[in-house]
Amino acid sequence: MARRGALQPPAEIRRMFDRIARRYDLMNRLMSLGRDVVWRRVAAQAALEHAPAVVLDIATGTGDLAFELVAQGARRVLALDFSRAMLRIASRKRAALRAWNVAFLCGDAMRLPFRDASVDACTIGFGLRNLPDYEAAIREFARVLRPGGRLVILETTPFTGPLAPFFRLYFDRLVPWIGGLVSGDRQAYSYLPRSTAAFPSAAELAALLRSAGFADVRYRTMMGGTVALHVAVRGAHLPDAVTAAASVPASRERRQLGPGAPQRA
């Protein structure tokens, strides 16, 4: 399969999320008819099945999946995103919820500021689709996971099946219109259906996970096949391409990441 990634460069996607941050949660509820809450609950349950000590939530946005992990018993959650506007909202929600075992960091999901094999589980909810190289991102997730650690990916998936025309009409026409009214940014919500259509199918994503050294890869689709939940276990040995790109010493992590070095929100 040809290398694939987000339809827009990272800087543009970051600016887009900064613009829509204030209405992001509301739009998620409206677009999914409230089902996104259930999907995150299912994703958190999958991530916590073996009681991981440290969970990394990548592309955390306003923190909904991180907070769901805590609600279901996670002891420590590291939640990373590259949008400072989203993280400011996440920090306010943390204070309201008193979820002090969630630590928010601003950083790059493609170069995670963590040692090799340093976290017990990774989650990413509706964020992989926005990264510039899906395969490289998955390999980076594998790098920071301990052997036997679990990766959980919750993501929209290309529409197929008999209901596909209905979903395309809804996401191509209605969602951008609602997004324009609610957030004032119709362009941002026109990006959603285009990025979903260009994303790998659930089966293709499973193949990417296996090629990155994950085992026991399984997935399920929800809401008429519009959303997929993938669960995979990091194998004991990673492919050479993963290990060769890894291992930034801890003392150099922040410096090598440059201006985007992680900072607590």
Q: What is the pLDDT of residues 190-211, one digit of tens each?
A: 998 999 999 999 999 999 999 9
Query: If residue 119 lies in a helix (H) or strand (E), which one and from where to where?
Result: strand 119-125
pLDDT digits 0-9 by tens, 218-247: 999 999 899 999 999 999 888 765 554 554
Average pLDDT over residues 89-102: 98
In angstroms, the CA 188 to CA 191 distance is 5
- Helix, strand, coil % in the chain, rounded to nearest 5: 50, 20, 30
Average pLDDT over residues 112-131: 98
Nearest one of 9, 26, 1, 42 to 181, comparing CA atoms: 26
What totals of helices (H) and strands (E) does the chain contain, helices first? 12, 7
Percentage of the chain beyond pLDDT 90 is 83
Residue 173 has pLDDT above 50, yes or no: yes
In order of start, what are the domains of the chain with their CATH numbers? 10-159+200-237 (3.40.50.150)
In angstroms, the CA 121 to CA 100 distance is 19
Phi-psi region of 163 (alpha: psi -120 to 50; beta: other; left: phi over 0): alpha
pLDDT digits 0-9 by tens, 132-157: 999 999 999 999 999 999 999 999 99
Phi/psi of residue 192, nearest 5 degrees: -55, -55
Report the chain's mean pLDDT, rounded to a whole number: 90
| DSSP-derived 3-state class of residue 236 | coil
Average pLDDT over residues 172-201: 94
Average pLDDT over residues 20-43: 96
